[in-house]
Structure 1
């Protein structure tokens, strides 16, 4: 049954939003840079995970995780970086969005750190470039990479990570949600036996075919 939203008090203007949140401080406004500083480059060298946000021409959105050994995002110069693609499910939702709308938002994380690095810019898809050899991992040279021209770069505070206790192992509960096999049986591969799916998504699943 659909939720009745008639009694919801919606915010529809920036003025209404400012009444609730107040105005950003000068520090918050001033931390944004249009070029990569040495600290940004050092962060990228240490980060093994990036979340890439895109939207299509019709406004539909996607957030896609990209992970590799730390430093996988290569800085080409102080306004350009590149992120290699690795084998996946070939949906390529974010890449299809970029072909229609090049604007991207990137969030780079370092395990154990509450702060994060946000980079916004314009992206292009590359099928080859001289630096592709430097993006090789476990003998796999990427066949596709995302080139990002930096428009905004700034560090984000740690409040969300502190509130969520994300990096505290004592709060982790991986069994809170159904197993990947049970989710697949219910939603994706409904005609396959659960026992086969449990073997398929077993302990070695995440290590299989990562780079081929």
Structure 2
């Protein structure tokens, strides 16, 4: 696609002229510490997205999920997010080693509002609180400890526009299956039938293995 004819926004003043100014309430809604409502939201959230950026500006957004309350609140300015077994790429972790700034977006299924937590992260391989992060006998090998700098809520407009939580709008078969994607892009030499079995009902049987 040729983007040469796009009209680009190139500075903050132009951006503000286009979008307008935030209300005084919205401009001032960031807080540096967790309120009791934030603690309750985090305790109820089984999922968040962790955004990071490397020293070169390359970005990563990684999903994190576990039973509700998987993020441990250590105090009003500190939280810990456990790592669980995955693909071992560790893109976000490499970013944190180079650039500690992170953003986390917490979701509660069925709710439109989300909680944003921004701060500075450290990778911790062990600490006394790791026992409290154990799930189904799995004690994490690593946790991301975030020193909070800003906390605030996002409104539900994006969820309302997308109808994300309305089951009648769901169509999981609209895109190729995970098995077909893997066959085309990642595991070309493996039979599709084998991949469909691999990504089938038994796929979640070892979520906390090594």
> Which whole-Å CA distance do the structure 2 matches of 1:34 and 1:139 have between them?
34
> Which whole-Å CA distance do the structure 1 matches of 2:4 and 2:207 have between them?
48
Deviation (angstroms), 1:79: 0.3
SS in structure 2 of the partner of residue 204 of structure 1: helix
Which position in structure 2 is the counterpart of 1:141? 139
> Which whole-Å CA distance do the structure 1 matches of 2:9 and 2:102 have between them?
26
Which position in structure 2 is the counterpart of 1:17? 15
Question: Counterparts of 1:77-88 in structure 2 under 5 Å?
Answer: 77-88=75-86
Which position in structure 2 is the counterpart of 1:202? 200
Which position in structure 2 is the counterpart of 1:113? 111
Residue 74 of structure 1: which of 69, 72, 75 is its match? 72
Structure 1 residue ranges (4+ consecutive) displaced by more than 2 angstroms after TM superposition:
none
SS in structure 1 of the partner of residue 132 of structure 2: helix
TM-score under structure 2 length normalisation: 0.98
> Which whole-Å CA distance do the structure 2 matches of 1:60 and 1:12 have between them?
20
Aligned pair 1:159/2:157, yes or no?
yes
- Post-superposition Cα deviations, 1:5-30, rounded to whole Å, max 9, x if no partner, equal 11110000001101110001011012
Can you give the 5+ residue segments of structure 2 that lack an aligned partner in the other structure? Answer: none
Question: Counterparts of 1:13-52 in structure 2 under 5 Å?
Answer: 13-52=11-50
TM-score under structure 1 length normalisation: 0.98
> Which whole-Å CA distance do the structure 2 matches of 1:26 and 1:123 have between them?
29
How many residues align structurally?
A: 209
Can you give the 5+ residue segments of structure 1 that lack an aligned partner in the other structure? Answer: none
Which position in structure 1 is the counterpart of 2:208? 211
> Which whole-Å CA distance do the structure 2 matches of 1:157 and 1:202 have between them?
36
- Post-superposition Cα deviations, 1:90-121, rounded to whole Å, max 9, x if no partner, equal 00000010000000000000000000000100
RMSD value, Cα: 0.6
